[in-house]
Structure 1
């Protein structure tokens, strides 16, 4: 991890030097025929092309309101939005180019900014610099444009810019290396599938001090290409999302490793805050999540090892067969996860399903997970007899926690997992709940130390155990009373 941080620091120094070098050559879009409130695609593209042909420089958008269709960014271009600039995406789908893409969904072929095979690109702004995709014009279109689609490129920097109202996903990176996102604000709630930032098979990424308010996944790492998604740092971000503040998956055919999320605030996340999902035969290894505040979140932490087995090998571009699972595709792995220093005021649209959940599948285990220094306040109100409740395995189903239905415990559900450590944990209830605090099934070598649990009035079972060999309890209490080590 230290080597990872050093490499990232060197990257930022290089990107900063790039931006400084670009100051020497200026290409003002007004000089190429751009006009406020008039569609100026050709003029802005001409400025970009001239900058690229000059070797490097700044394409300047001066104060004003401009409209454009698809723009093709190129190497060594610094796109500079001055204070008071709003760049609007055209409201006419005909102004968006069809860029080559092999995919299962046609809207992937249109975007406002397209980059492929380029390097050394920066997009910077001032406090009131905005890119507005006007996605509300495309609510019923099957070809809703993204704002940014950046592929097979390196040394990309976004800084101090607001992007909003995309037709679909807002910012997508595929197979890119060396990405820096600093003080980027994303407001994307105009359509369904309004993701914030997506990184598919990307490496050496730093996301710092960003603010995201989105309808779908806010910061989402994917692995649908034969290239690892690795060395990812997320720090100091404030995030609200309808579906997930941070999500790893669902596309998970390859490798995720060396992921760090720290010092963030996740709020108003109705369907979940943190999701680590391995369902397509890849690998998740070495994820470190720390110093996170959760507020008004349902399903705060969801770890899922499943066997959907979607096949992405036909193309490097997210092509898969939705209906046919390839023979012999292995189940993946999810291991070495640290989750520490988390506080949470949790809320659920259905209070019986919204606890922390770790679940593998029979014969395939989530491994080596540590939860430490955790303080979660649950809303309660799970009023049911869980003695005979069977939570479905749903091995091949899309991995959404709510699909499992009511859980056997209000706080933490662990199934098909090995080597899980819980240390310095507090679970409290704001309303009555008739369920135990923790459920363990096929949970091997779990250790609970300094764990304080609150139970609803009249509830005397803190732990519901269904096969937990090598379970060890040390200073575990429920309503102030010691929970005894189970026999056997």
Structure 2
């Protein structure tokens, strides 16, 4: 049967501090009207043709994934439930390790909908395999790379039946889960088509003025529509109270020319490809793509300060971004900031050429939801930040996100941490090939409290967990707190760095600012990287005004968990191994009070220092 723990009702009730944010948004046509659920594909209810639930290729969301059989194989889910009849988007998160499509016919409640291509993640796998850690299985690399395919369907209230039949000779794909989200089935009227203002989707014409004219002409509540085609343009300025409908097969693509990008006001950066300031009740959807066109060596130098950020908005309320692909940024990719009431759902984000290509960087947002998406980038994948000490981040929910690869962090709070970071949930995440899995770094004065990380899987990470109360050491605004952090149901395989995991406060001129009330439950790491032949000394304290990278501490005297300047750290059923053998202890405590290690029949030794 389906895992109904991920249903609509429990998304509303799961954690008390999220209820108000989830049900309290104003009644508008934007983020408030949105609801979503997802169902684990491995929990199919019937099948023919050799489909099976599998856990062979790690990581994945949930307890496994569906491995479809050969041509003609059919799989059925007869317990897809929604609260009321209407239009919904089905979001299939799938993997295809080949260079060909793996098409399937889709039926819903017995009605043929369409043939879904389930195309490959890439047709040049060597580009993506290059540079992965030496112990990664390159032959199977693509079975851990997921993408979303989307289709709008009619569903009835209550139970629905979804069926896929593989039609290609290679059979069907692997499917991790099926998202079900409320859909805007068509662009709301009145419609303003960009082609009516002179736009031509031929991949050559400069459509900058035509697109600007169409957006300006769109009345409140209406839609600006891009039909299939490639629309070359300079910067696009968004506005409030409209829908930008990028049809399936349509791409808004940037010119590779810095002179085509505007300088905007209102955002953290000044140069964007697509941006809006004070764009309340904005929706961007439709199934198409926004493409920054940063490929090859263009905009790939970290010293190039004129690189454009791809997509963002600021100082807004009730913004929805769903069912689009966000591709090839010159700098950070997707930067929603200072927005209250944000829904991001069903996106594929891919930005792999060059450096500093962050994925999604929410800055000073409240009541924000990021769900049912994939991220592939070269810097931090999901990276909440705060630049305003009076705003910060509150009620941020991130669920059902697969990070296919990044050269840096899978999830990172920071390093910009000026405002507080509170009352947030990160659940059902999968990271593969990341520098760090979970990084929580408060170094600019932010108070961090009441965060939950649950049901997270990682593979090939350098550092699984890196939590630091740097108490304003970078800005001099000392005294911040990091407390009440709950980490549960975490599974990690193949750690490739010797640092292990760390949980640290700070000692500033003899005054200790602890990290406290840290709870790890059902966390399993197989295996931490060993091979250190002698035990190093305790590392230096976090240096003042430095970047809080884990490497500033060097190799810790623990192969598993190094915990320093901490109060009330509780481990329950925290298991781990090391390979190869290592001279260090599994857990080292330095200036820690209230440590408990529960739930293990034979707990590994812990070294305690004053």
* TM-score, normalized by the shorter chain, greater than 0.5: yes
Which of 318, 336, 360 is the matching residue for 1:197?
360
Which of 318, 322, 325 is the matching residue for 1:159?
322
Matched, 1:135 2:149: no
In the alignment, the residues of structure 2 paired with residue 419 and residue 46 of structure 1 have an alpha-carbon distance, to the nearest angstrom, of 59
Which of 64, 67, 90 is the matching residue for 2:232?
67
Matches within 5 A, 1:465-476: 465-467=608-610
Aligned to 1:118: 279
Aligned to 1:482: none
In the alignment, the residues of structure 1 paired with residue 468 and residue 432 of structure 2 have an alpha-carbon distance, to the nearest angstrom, of 22
What's the offset of the Cα at 1:138? 2.5
In the alignment, the residues of structure 2 paired with residue 116 and residue 435 of structure 1 have an alpha-carbon distance, to the nearest angstrom, of 52
Cα deviations across residues 334-376 of structure 1 (Å, max 9, x unaligned)? 000000000110322xx322x1100111211001000001111
Q: 2:469, 2:481 within 8 Å by CA — same for their partners in 1?
A: yes
Cα deviations across residues 227-251 of structure 1 (Å, max 9, x unaligned)? 0210000001101322111111111
Which of 234, 238, 241 is the matching residue for 2:398?
234
Matched, 1:352 2:511: no
In the alignment, the residues of structure 1 paired with residue 261 and residue 190 of structure 2 have an alpha-carbon distance, to the nearest angstrom, of 29
Which of 242, 258, 275 is the matching residue for 2:439?
275
What's the offset of the Cα at 1:439? 0.5
Number of positions where the alignment pairs a residue of Structure 1 with one of Structure 2: 432
Q: 1:421, 1:447 within 8 Å by CA — same for their partners in 2?
A: yes
TM-score by length of 1: 0.84
Aligned to 1:303: 467
Matched, 1:99 2:258: no
Matches within 5 A, 1:19-418: 23-36=188-201, 37=203, 38-51=205-218, 54-100=219-265, 108-126=269-287, 129-136=288-295, 137-140=298-301, 141-225=304-388, 226-239=390-403, 240-269=405-434, 271-311=435-475, 325=476, 329-348=477-496, 351-353=497-499, 355-362=500-507, 363-386=512-535, 389-396=537-544, 397-418=546-567
Cα deviations across residues 253-300 of structure 1 (Å, max 9, x unaligned)? 12100110011111110x201111111112000010000011111101
What's the offset of the Cα at 1:9? 4.2
Q: 1:171, 1:196 within 8 Å by CA — same for their partners in 2?
A: yes
What's the offset of the Cα at 1:438? 0.5
Aligned to 1:4: 18
Aligned to 2:121: none
Aligned to 1:419: 568
**Compared with structure 1, are the counterparts of its residues 148 and 252 closer, same or farther at alpha carbon in structure 2 (3 Å cutoff)?**
same
Q: Which moved more, 1:390-399 or 1:410-419?
A: 390-399
What's the offset of the Cα at 1:101? 6.2
In the alignment, the residues of structure 2 paired with residue 196 and residue 449 of structure 1 have an alpha-carbon distance, to the nearest angstrom, of 37
Q: 1:96, 1:112 within 8 Å by CA — same for their partners in 2?
A: yes
What's the offset of the Cα at 1:414? 0.3
SS in 1 for 2:209: helix
Q: 1:130, 1:162 within 8 Å by CA — same for their partners in 2?
A: yes
**Compared with structure 1, are the counterparts of its residues 156 and 452 closer, same or farther at alpha carbon in structure 2 (3 Å cutoff)?**
farther
Q: 2:530, 2:578 within 8 Å by CA — same for their partners in 1?
A: no
In the alignment, the residues of structure 2 paired with residue 454 and residue 98 of structure 1 have an alpha-carbon distance, to the nearest angstrom, of 58
In the alignment, the residues of structure 2 paired with residue 221 and residue 344 of structure 1 have an alpha-carbon distance, to the nearest angstrom, of 22
In the alignment, the residues of structure 2 paired with residue 13 and residue 78 of structure 1 have an alpha-carbon distance, to the nearest angstrom, of 16
**Compared with structure 1, are the counterparts of its residues 84 and 39 closer, same or farther at alpha carbon in structure 2 (3 Å cutoff)?**
same
What's the offset of the Cα at 1:81? 1.2
What's the offset of the Cα at 1:149? 2.6
What's the offset of the Cα at 1:429? 2.5
Aligned to 1:480: none
What's the offset of the Cα at 1:151? 0.9
In the alignment, the residues of structure 2 paired with residue 382 and residue 408 of structure 1 have an alpha-carbon distance, to the nearest angstrom, of 12
SS in 2 for 1:265: strand
**Compared with structure 1, are the counterparts of its residues 453 and 242 closer, same or farther at alpha carbon in structure 2 (3 Å cutoff)?**
farther
Q: 2:267, 2:313 within 8 Å by CA — same for their partners in 1?
A: no
Aligned to 2:595: 446
Cα deviations across residues 381-436 of structure 1 (Å, max 9, x unaligned)? 332321x6121112423211122111111111100000000001111234222211
**Compared with structure 1, are the counterparts of its residues 252 and 334 closer, same or farther at alpha carbon in structure 2 (3 Å cutoff)?**
same
In the alignment, the residues of structure 1 paired with residue 506 and residue 600 of structure 2 have an alpha-carbon distance, to the nearest angstrom, of 26
**Compared with structure 1, are the counterparts of its residues 302 and 13 closer, same or farther at alpha carbon in structure 2 (3 Å cutoff)?**
farther
In the alignment, the residues of structure 2 paired with residue 380 and residue 94 of structure 1 have an alpha-carbon distance, to the nearest angstrom, of 48
Q: 1:79, 1:122 within 8 Å by CA — same for their partners in 2?
A: yes
SS in 2 for 1:4: helix
Unaligned runs of 5+ in 2: 1-14, 35-183
Q: 2:245, 2:285 within 8 Å by CA — same for their partners in 1?
A: yes
**Compared with structure 1, are the counterparts of its residues 337 and 307 closer, same or farther at alpha carbon in structure 2 (3 Å cutoff)?**
closer
Q: 1:282, 1:331 within 8 Å by CA — same for their partners in 2?
A: no
**Compared with structure 1, are the counterparts of its residues 21 and 189 closer, same or farther at alpha carbon in structure 2 (3 Å cutoff)?**
closer
Q: 2:17, 2:423 within 8 Å by CA — same for their partners in 1?
A: no
TM-score by length of 2: 0.68
In the alignment, the residues of structure 2 paired with residue 289 and residue 411 of structure 1 have an alpha-carbon distance, to the nearest angstrom, of 19
Q: 1:280, 1:306 within 8 Å by CA — same for their partners in 2?
A: yes
Aligned to 1:459: none
In the alignment, the residues of structure 1 paired with residue 278 and residue 265 of structure 2 have an alpha-carbon distance, to the nearest angstrom, of 13
In the alignment, the residues of structure 2 paired with residue 380 and residue 159 of structure 1 have an alpha-carbon distance, to the nearest angstrom, of 39
In the alignment, the residues of structure 2 paired with residue 13 and residue 433 of structure 1 have an alpha-carbon distance, to the nearest angstrom, of 58
In the alignment, the residues of structure 2 paired with residue 209 and residue 285 of structure 1 have an alpha-carbon distance, to the nearest angstrom, of 25
SS in 2 for 1:120: coil
